[in-house]
Each structure stands twice: as structure tokens, then as C-alpha cells.
């Protein structure tokens, strides 16, 4: 028995050092140390030995097991080390990495931020108001009473008779004046809602409202401010035209056209051969509006304007369909 164990140990040691791959090493482990392996077979016969010999043989058998296991482990570690080294060799740190997709701001956000920049340069601060608005702020205080025909233009989403989704950013004028004394110099950007949908209208779109109130200001200031805005947002050569118009909350009122961004005024399909494109509404604050916020119409003069941001973006980037801004098609968005 002792001899058998000694031979097993020698055979295992010789075999181990001839092994050149991990798979054979595993087979060798099963052959010698496995449950039905050579060592187990010898150990099974121990029970049939005379009682006095059992402990001695048992100890030798155990030593033999420990030695084979140690040899096996050493060989295994050697393999592992070479494997790790090979792996290092195949890791080429100079290879280019996988491309990372970097997103960017939505074109509407870009135009909004450019608008803030321009007006910040003219001393305007940003004001805010709710999208779910009261009839009073959206209409009544802006000199648009319940029976006023101007209400038809707004295609309002009503929530209740008195609560609605704001149809324009002009109610922020009222909220700002109600909570702040003059002078005021704000722009109010935000989402507005109208029941309207086609290639130039979406039920939600963005506007930027402007309001300046002081003891001395005039229509020429309005012209100057809007000219600076247009020249910075578009080409500095762009011409402006102030066309008489009507808004209940301004008097006088104007619609502002710019020379066509496509044909520069000679006439094309975009401008319906007029050479001009309308971009915003503006005017001098109506005394009735001052009365509704308890500002003295004798002491205060105000100028106001409001523009649609999608419209500005369409013209700036030459886009034909406003709905593209809201479809989240990356082939479109990634162009900006």
C-alpha cells in the first residue's frame, strides 16, 4: 500500500511537468484527485486493512493527496500567468475607441438661448408665468373682454370657463407689472397653446414676449430694440418694415416684417413674391392695460412685442415644416 502511494505521487509529478495546456491539466486533476480517481481507489481499500495499520497508512495517503494538489496548483498558476501575459499583449491601447454619440441642444432651445443673449445685451431680464392661466391674465387684463372678436383669433384650449392654457406669453406682462413697480424691462419666454395644426401651426409652440415700461420711452425705442434683435439673429443687412396693425393691448400696434431671408427682397415663393416676411407683433402699451395693473397711464409709457420662436427658427435655418421640430427625428435634429 505504501509503495502504491509512493508510485502514484511520482507518476503524478512526472505527468504534471509534461502537461502543456490547461485542458490536459484539468484531465490530470480528474485522473488523480477526482472522486473516482486513482487516489480515491487506493483510499477505498484502507478500510480492509488491519486496525493497527490504518492510522499510519491514512496519514501517508493524506500527505500524498496534499502533495499532488500542491504540484497541480503550482502548474495551474504558471499557466494562468502566461495566459494573463498573452491577454496583455492583445490589448492595444493605441486603437481608436468606440465612437461616443454626443447629443446637443434642440434647435428651438438654441434659438431661445440666442434670443436671451441678445436681449440680455440690451438690459432685459427674464420673467416667467404659468402655462395654465386664468382668463383674466390671458385676455381680460390685456383689454380683450369676453365678447371681443380678438378672442376668435386665439383658438383657446379651455379647462374651465375661467381657466385655460395660455394662448400667448402676453399674460406675463400683466403678472410682472402686478408684482413689480415700474420701471420694467423683461422678456418672457415660454410655451403657448392653440387649437391649430398644419404645416405652419402646432398646438404647442414657443413665444418670447418683451415689455419695457418707463417714464420716457417711445416708438423709436421699440424700433431700435427690434432692429438690434433682427440684425443679431439674422443677417445684419436684413431690413425691417413696421406695418400698422391691431392688437387690443397696444396702441399704436404694428406687425414687423423683415426682408425675405431667401430672396433678400426680390420676391420668391417663401415671401409670396412680396420680398417681406412677417416675424412679430409689437406696439405701445395700451392705457387700459396700465389701468388693469394699477399703473398710472399718465406717468408710464410702455413698449411691448411678441414673437413665435418656431417661426424665427424656420426662417433662420430654412426649414419648410414646423412639425419637424416636434417629431424627434434624429436625422433632422442632428443637423443643427
* Binding flag, residue 208, ligand DAH (CB under 6 A): no
**Is 254 in contact with 283 (CB distance < 8 Å)?**
yes
Stretch that binds ligand DAH, among 79-87, 115-123, 279-287, 322-330 (CB under 6 A): 279-287
**Is 255 in contact with 308 (CB distance < 8 Å)?**
no
Walk across the sheet containing 184-193 and list its strands.
Answer: 125-126, 184-193, 204-214, 301-308, 276-285, 250-259, 240-247
Question: Least distance in Å: CB of 334 to ligand DAH?
Answer: 31
Calpha distance 251→245 (Å, rounded): 9
| CA-atom Rg of the chain in angstroms | 42
Calpha distance 271→260 (Å, rounded): 6
Question: Least distance in Å: CB of 305 to ligand DAH?
Answer: 5
* Binding flag, residue 194, ligand DAH (CB under 6 A): no
**Is 169 in contact with 138 (CB distance < 8 Å)?**
no
> For 19-98, where are the alpha helices, taking DSSP H only?
22-33, 38-44, 54-90
* Binding flag, residue 300, ligand DAH (CB under 6 A): no
CA torsion, points 237, 242, 243, 248, in degrees to nearest 10?
A: 140
Q: Pick between residue 61 and residue 172 the one whose CB is nearest to ligand DAH.
A: 172
Report how many residues bind ligand DAH under the rule CB under 6 A: 11
What letter does residue 46 receive in the DSSP assignment?
A: G
Distance linking the first and last C-alpha atoms of the chain: 85
305 by DSSP, 3-state: which?
strand
**Is 326 in contact with 202 (CB distance < 8 Å)?**
yes
| Coarse DSSP helix, strand, coil percentages of the chain, rounded to the nearest 5 percent | 45, 20, 35
Identified binder of ligand DAH from the candidate list 276, 306, 312, 313, rule CB under 6 A: 306
* Binding flag, residue 247, ligand DAH (CB under 6 A): yes
Q: What are phi and psi of 311, to 5 degrees?
A: -65, -45
Stretch that binds ligand DAH, among 65-73, 100-108, 144-152, 303-311 (CB under 6 A): 303-311
* Binding flag, residue 282, ligand DAH (CB under 6 A): yes
Q: Pick between residue 115 and residue 250 the one whose CB is nearest to ligand DAH.
A: 250
Question: Least distance in Å: CB of 171 to ligand DAH?
Answer: 9
Stretch that binds ligand DAH, among 34-42, 55-63, 84-92, 298-306 (CB under 6 A): 298-306
Q: Pick between residue 176 and residue 250 the one whose CB is nearest to ligand DAH.
A: 250
Q: Pick between residue 282 and residue 293 the one whose CB is nearest to ligand DAH.
A: 282
Residues 149-178, interacting with ligand DAH (CB under 6 A): 168, 170
* Binding flag, residue 305, ligand DAH (CB under 6 A): yes
Identified binder of ligand DAH from the candidate list 9, 135, 209, 310, rule CB under 6 A: 209
Stretch that binds ligand DAH, among 15-23, 257-265, 270-278, 299-307 (CB under 6 A): 299-307
Q: Pick between residue 61 and residue 192 the one whose CB is nearest to ligand DAH.
A: 192
* Binding flag, residue 238, ligand DAH (CB under 6 A): no
* Binding flag, residue 292, ligand DAH (CB under 6 A): no
Phi-psi region of 125 (alpha: psi -120 to 50; beta: other; left: phi over 0): beta
Q: Pick between residue 57 and residue 254 the one whose CB is nearest to ligand DAH.
A: 254
Question: Least distance in Å: CB of 255 to ligand DAH?
Answer: 8
Calpha distance 26→28 (Å, rounded): 5
Question: Least distance in Å: CB of 108 to ligand DAH?
Answer: 17
Question: Least distance in Å: CB of 250 to ligand DAH?
Answer: 4
326 burial type by CB count under 10 A (0-12 exposed, 13-18 middle, 19+ buried): middle
By CB under 6 A, name the binding residues for ligand DAH. 168, 170, 209, 247, 250, 281-283, 304-306
Amino acid at each position: 500500500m505504501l509503495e502504491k502511494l509512493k508510485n502514484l505521487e511520482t507518476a503524478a509529478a512526472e505527468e504534471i511537468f509534461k502537461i502543456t495546456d490547461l485542458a490536459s491539466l484539468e484531465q490530470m486533476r480528474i485522473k488523480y484527485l477526482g472522486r473516482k480517481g486513482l487516489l480515491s481507489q487506493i483510499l477505498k481499500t484502507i478500510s480492509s486493512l488491519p486496525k493497527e495499520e490504518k492510522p499510519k497508512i491514512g496519514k501517508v495517503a493524506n500527505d500524498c493527496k496534499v502533495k499532488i494538489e500542491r504540484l497541480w496548483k503550482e502548474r495551474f498558476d504558471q499557466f494562468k500567468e502566461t495566459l494573463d501575459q498573452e491577454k496583455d499583449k492583445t490589448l492595444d491601447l493605441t486603437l481608436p475607441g468606440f465612437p461616443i454619440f454626443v447629443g446637443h441642444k434642440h434647435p428651438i432651445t438654441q434659438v431661445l438661448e440666442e434670443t436671451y443673449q441678445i436681449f440680455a445685451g440690451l438690459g432685459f431680464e427674464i420673467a416667467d408665468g404659468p402655462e395654465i392661466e386664468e382668463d383674466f391674465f390671458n385676455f381680460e387684463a390685456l383689454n380683450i373682454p369676453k365678447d371681443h372678436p380678438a378672442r376668435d383669433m386665439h383658438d383657446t384650449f379651455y379647462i374651465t370657463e375661467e381657466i385655460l392654457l395660455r394662448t400667448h406669453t402676453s399674460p406675463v406682462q400683466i403678472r410682472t407689472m402686478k408684482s413689480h413697480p415700474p420701471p420694467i424691462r423683461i422678456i418672457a419666454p415660454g410655451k403657448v397653446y392653440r387649437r391649430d395644426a398644419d404645416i405652419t401651426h402646432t398646438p404647442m409652440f414657443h413665444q418670447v414676449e418683451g415689455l419695457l415700461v418707463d417714464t420716457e420711452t417711445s416708438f423709436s425705442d421699440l424700433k431700435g430694440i427690434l432692429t438690434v434683435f433682427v440684425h443679431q439673429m439674422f443677417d445684419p443687412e436684413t431690413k425691417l418694415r413696421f406695418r400698422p396693425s391691431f392688437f387690443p393691448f397696444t396702441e399704436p400696434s404694428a406687425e414687423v416684417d423683415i426682408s425675405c431671408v431667401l430672396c433678400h427682397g426680390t420676391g420668391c415663393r417663401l415671401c409670396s413674391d412680396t420680398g417681406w416676411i412677417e416675424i412679430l407683433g409689437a406696439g405701445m402699451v395700451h392705457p387700459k392695460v396700465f389701468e388693469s395693473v394699477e399703473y398710472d397711464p399718465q406717468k408710464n409709457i410702455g413698449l411691448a412685442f411678441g414673437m413665435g420662436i418656431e417661426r424665427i427658427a424656420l426662417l433662420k435655418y430654412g426649414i419648410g415644416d414646423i412639425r419637424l421640430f416636434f417629431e424627434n427625428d434624429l436625422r433632422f435634429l442632428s443637423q443643427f
